[in-house]
Amino acid sequence: MRNRLMLVLLAFLLILNLTHYADRAGDNYFDKSLKNAAVTFAVARVLNGILSVIQHVEVAATPAGVGLSAAPGQILDPLNDMVEQFSTVMLMATVSLAIQKLLLAFSGWWGAKIVIASLLLLLMTLLVLDHFKIAGQVNKDTLYKFILLLLFVRFALPFVAISSSIVEALFLNAPIQAKTAKLQLIEQSAAAVIEADDGMKWHENLITSGKNLINVKKNVALLKEKLTQSISTIIDLIALFIIQTILLPLAFLYLALKLVKGLFGYGLSTAYHRLPPTSAA
């Protein structure tokens, strides 16, 4: 019975290895995750650009002949630092997903599929011969363990991708999309603080209006109020993307490794060894 179950499992792995289901599922997951990460990264870079422009607005005024200089945007330094760190995290998240997608393509290389399929067929043949006692008992443990290593390399990333997609669909996708949309609204709201004139973008209009120190201070205060609303959203997104691109892959990779390690202790030759018939008393 155990012999038949092993043959069924090996046949299933053989079919899964030669088909594109696991690879396609993993590829779809990484494409979707890359798209979401890229959108969030783009929003972070726009916010960073907005803050950088405001910080470099320096207003000069000469009341009563006395020269004065002010840079009201400097009050946004802490927020700008956080947005820069957020941009760095999103860049690393995007790069991590791109690397995983590339490794997935390598694991699905046709040459690797042929080698694994050949070894699986060989192991299945040996098990069939052993079951019907067509050939003598052959130690299959070395071949079995070698195939386990190859299967780990072949299916580790598809397993990580499919498992991660299930967890993300249940817990992560909705908050990531909601908070990214909220960050986009904050960005648009900040950009709308100053109406564009003569076809100029809002930050160009801010620099042009810098002749009026009072107006610039007022505009910067409004922008600070708008942008500080993004702090909690940024922190949440940093946590969500660290979970998505670092913690989940490492957790499922560890589970796959533990599974393979456990199967290593399962010796085929021992499992299918038949006790000799007992002699009649």
Q: Specify the higher pLDDT residue, 93 or 78.
A: 93
What DSSP element (H or E) covers 120?
helix 110-131
User: Among 22-26, 143-147, 190-194, where is mean pLDDT lowest?
Assistant: 190-194
Q: Specify the higher pLDDT residue, 257 or 187.
A: 257
Residue 94 has pLDDT above 90, yes or no: yes
Total domains in the chain come to 1
Is 121 part of any domain?
yes
Is 10 part of any domain?
yes
Is 279 part of any domain?
no
> Which of 18, 30, 153 is CA-nearest to residue 98?
30
Is 176 part of any domain?
yes
Q: Specify the higher pLDDT residue, 270 or 245.
A: 245
Q: How much is the CA Rg of the chain, to the nearest whole Å?
A: 30
Q: Specify the higher pLDDT residue, 223 or 103.
A: 103
pTM of this prediction? 0.80
Residue 246 has pLDDT above 80, yes or no: yes
231-245 residue pLDDT tens: 889 999 999 999 999
Residue with tokens 């998240």: 93
Distance CA 7, CA 135 (A): 17
pLDDT at 210: 47
Contact 255, 156 (CB under 8 A): no
Distance CA 197, CA 60 (A): 22
Contact 95, 246 (CB under 8 A): no
Q: What is the mean pLDDT of residues 192-207?
A: 51
34-77 residue pLDDT tens: 999 999 999 988 888 877 777 665 444 444 444 444 455 566 67
pLDDT at 213: 53
Strands (E), 32-148: 59-61, 68-70
pLDDT class of 216 with cuts at 50, 70, 90? low
Distance CA 143, CA 127 (A): 12
Residue 187 has pLDDT above 60, yes or no: yes
Residue 195 has pLDDT above 90, yes or no: no
Enclosing domain of residue 46 = 2-271
pLDDT at 135: 58
Is 133 part of any domain?
yes
Contact 84, 48 (CB under 8 A): yes
Quick one: tokens of 98? 């791109």
DSSP state of 196: -
pLDDT at 278: 44
Distance CA 19, CA 13 (A): 10
Mean pLDDT (the chain, rounded): 80
Is 82 part of any domain?
yes
- State which amino acid sits at residue 29: Y
Contact 252, 191 (CB under 8 A): no
Distances, alpha carbon 273 to alpha carbons 11, 127, 141, 269, in Å: 21, 11, 12, 6
Contact 160, 256 (CB under 8 A): yes
> Which of 127, 152, 151 is CA-nearest to residue 139?
127
Q: Specify the higher pLDDT residue, 226 or 178.
A: 178
> Which of 242, 155, 219, 181 is CA-nearest to residue 40?
181
pLDDT at 62: 43
Is 24 part of any domain?
yes
Is 281 part of any domain?
no
